[in-house]
Structure 1
Amino acid sequence: MVFKKMMRAFGVGGPSVDTVLANPNTRPGLTLDGQVRILGGDHDAAIEQVVLGLVTRVEHEHGDGFVEFHRVPVAGGFQLGAGEQRDLPFAFPVPWETPITDVYGRRLHGMTMGLRTELALAKAVDKGDLDEVAVHPLPAQERILDAFAELGFRFARADLEHGGIHGVGQQLPFYQEIEFHPAPQFAGGINEVEVTFVADPEGVEVILEFDKRGGFLAPGHDAYGRFRVSHAEAETTDWTSVVESWVREASGRYQGLRGAGGFGGPAYSGGHGSHGYGHHGHFRQGPGAGAMAAGIAGGVLGGMVLGEVAEEIFEDDGGDFDFGE
């Protein structure tokens, strides 16, 4: 669904902007295609620049706020006549590390994403149009999420944490955590599992963080695992078996929160408060899609209501959009 908002750019009689997406659904590494439509006001205007940017909500140590994490100029300076309409086509590249917002047509609870249009005129900037977009998982990410569902893990929520993951060639200033409640066979030793994907053109880094339960004589602790998956492996791997082996290997290790990086125990920068480390349409359903989709339909994504998310961020309340909170 494309959200069309015609906003007066710079007072009465100024130009207005409306961005129309051909398809708001995409994946990391693909593009968002569409047009920026600018309509002149009641006088000629000098347009200095038109820019598109991806915007999402990121959690910080002292709260959360909206962050624009990728900007692409659509047009440089040009003159816009009174009443003139100018259509500017674009193909906006979606970064490989862009977080997942939707799985099988359902919004992940806690995720928001929008494409914002900025119109610069006479040294002023108007935030213009904001269109909701849906980022679906890459095939490898989708199969891994399917495998967690097949094993009985239940989706809890997803969020974005400010900071970086030690030892990973991360480009964005945040990372996504997809949280699961443990499967029954692991519930005795694990409170929750957090999955982080860091994708690039060759493959995906998969980082697992386990909140392990304590015992009568032992306190609880976190355990970590880090694994590399190529895009070519997505269709040819028994992911349920692979993910089960990852869980058993990584959850069986003890790694202190301030431990050194490396396989099974990456250290992290940014994120979780006092200890200084955080850890961290055309989309085909895979063989494990039934379990994941059934979990979503059955309320596994508890509290997820797309309309509420859209209303919170994308509904025009008659004022400017504020992404700097």
Structure 2
Amino acid sequence: MSFFNKALASLGIGNAKVDTRLKQIQYRQGDLIEGEVFVQGGQVEQTVDEIYLYLVILYHQDNSQQEYVMEEYRLSEVFTIGPRETKVIPFEFSLPYDTPVTTGGCPVFLKTGLDISMAVDPDDTDGIEVLPHPLLETVLQVVERIGFQLTEIDFEFENFYSRHPFIQVFNFKPVGDLRNSLDGLDLMFYIGERRLEAIFQVDRKATDLMSSLEEALELDRKTFRLSISEEDVKGGDQELERKLTDLIVQHAQ
């Protein structure tokens, strides 16, 4: 019977199971993620070579969905799990600052798995909601107050610097006074603990022959960068609003 059970376990039948339980499912970029991994033994004793935890991003590129492992964490050394035995492994890690926010339809989840030799490896997936870093959220709110509306959150795959194959882009359209001079405004961010670097791409509207030629040659975009710290908005974001308004108007010319 023992040999038969081991054979079944190697096929994933009566195998050990894994279940990850998070303290919460909603986080901001940079937040601490805490949880526990529950390993439930199967019908036979098994050796677990490791428990791994992946931070996985799903995104679309060229009309197909891509799965990207953003971070990988090893949670344990080799251990043995007995029949029906339960082991609990606590863990914590900081959600990377460059994790995409999930608001734009970009699923983010944690995938936990057991690496068991000569057996089907059991796994578990848990989706999380990723909210913007407080500084990023402040910038988005200021841009909307200036007279823009967020229309889409997508990804850029070329002409940027990132440790990943993409960077998240926030697309705005003008709904205020600037709608006569701009077609749109795109924002990208490089986020740190207390500071971020924002890249603004201003898409100017074609209003005459020269600007029409620039648009045809894709020369109608102007880019500027702005570094923003917690100290800059500690007493309110009015100064940031004035600075952004001046910069956007300047680059709309």
Give the counterpart of 2:109 among 114, 129, 138: 114
Residues in 2 aligned to 1:125 and 1:68: alpha-carbon distance in whole angstroms: 21
Native 8 Å contact 2:29 2:95 kept in 1: yes
**Structure of greater Rg:** 2
Deviation at 1:124, TM superposition (A): 6.0
Residues in 2 aligned to 1:13 and 1:131: alpha-carbon distance in whole angstroms: 22
User: TM-score, with normalisation over the residues of structure 2?
Assistant: 0.84
Residues in 2 aligned to 1:200 and 1:226: alpha-carbon distance in whole angstroms: 15
Alpha-carbon distance change, 15 to 90 in structure 1, aligned in 2, over 3 angstroms: same
Q: Partner residue of 2:136?
A: 141
Give the counterpart of 2:155 among 130, 140, 160: 160
Mapping 1:226-237, distance limit 5 Å:
226-236=225-235, 237=237
User: TM-score, with normalisation over the residues of structure 1?
Assistant: 0.67
Q: Partner residue of 1:43?
A: 44
Q: Partner residue of 1:304?
A: none
- Higher relative CO (Cα under 8 Å, sequence separation at least 6) belongs to 1
Residues in 2 aligned to 1:83 and 1:152: alpha-carbon distance in whole angstroms: 61
Structure holding more strand per residue: 2
Q: Partner residue of 2:6?
A: none
Alignment deviations for residues 160-203 of structure 1 (CA, whole Å, 9 cap, x no partner): 3335625xxx4333211011121321111222211111112341
Q: How many residues align?
A: 236
Alpha-carbon distance change, 231 to 125 in structure 1, aligned in 2, over 3 angstroms: farther
Cα RMSD (Å): 2.3
1:67 aligns with 2:68: yes
Alpha-carbon distance change, 31 to 82 in structure 1, aligned in 2, over 3 angstroms: same
Residues in 2 aligned to 1:123 and 1:193: alpha-carbon distance in whole angstroms: 54
Residues in 2 aligned to 1:63 and 1:161: alpha-carbon distance in whole angstroms: 15
Residues in 2 aligned to 1:19 and 1:135: alpha-carbon distance in whole angstroms: 18
Residues in 2 aligned to 1:127 and 1:246: alpha-carbon distance in whole angstroms: 53
Question: Which stretch of the first structure deviates more once superposed, 155-164 or 40-49?
Answer: 155-164
Native 8 Å contact 1:97 1:198 kept in 2: yes
Residues in 2 aligned to 1:114 and 1:138: alpha-carbon distance in whole angstroms: 18
Q: Partner residue of 2:186?
A: 194
- SS class of match (2:75): strand
Which letter maps to 1:155?
A: L
Residues in 1 aligned to 2:77 and 2:106: alpha-carbon distance in whole angstroms: 32
Q: Partner residue of 2:243?
A: 242
Residues in 1 aligned to 2:232 and 2:120: alpha-carbon distance in whole angstroms: 45
Residues in 1 aligned to 2:196 and 2:203: alpha-carbon distance in whole angstroms: 23
Deviation at 1:9, TM superposition (A): 9.3
- SS class of match (1:208): strand
- SS class of match (1:133): strand
Alpha-carbon distance change, 119 to 154 in structure 1, aligned in 2, over 3 angstroms: same
Alpha-carbon distance change, 47 to 235 in structure 1, aligned in 2, over 3 angstroms: same
Alpha-carbon distance change, 76 to 195 in structure 1, aligned in 2, over 3 angstroms: same
- SS class of match (1:201): coil
Alpha-carbon distance change, 189 to 57 in structure 1, aligned in 2, over 3 angstroms: farther
Residues in 2 aligned to 1:164 and 1:36: alpha-carbon distance in whole angstroms: 40
Deviation at 1:67, TM superposition (A): 0.7
Q: Partner residue of 1:297?
A: none
Long gaps (5+) in structure 1 = 1-7, 102-107, 253-325
Residues in 2 aligned to 1:62 and 1:127: alpha-carbon distance in whole angstroms: 30
Structure holding more helix per residue: 2
Alignment deviations for residues 95-134 of structure 1 (CA, whole Å, 9 cap, x no partner): 1211222xxxxxx233221111122110667461111111
Alpha-carbon distance change, 83 to 159 in structure 1, aligned in 2, over 3 angstroms: same
Alpha-carbon distance change, 9 to 189 in structure 1, aligned in 2, over 3 angstroms: farther
Which letter maps to 1:153?
A: F
Q: Partner residue of 2:78?
A: 77
Native 8 Å contact 1:10 1:126 kept in 2: no
Which letter maps to 2:222?
A: A
- SS class of match (1:181): strand
Identity of aligned residues (%): 23
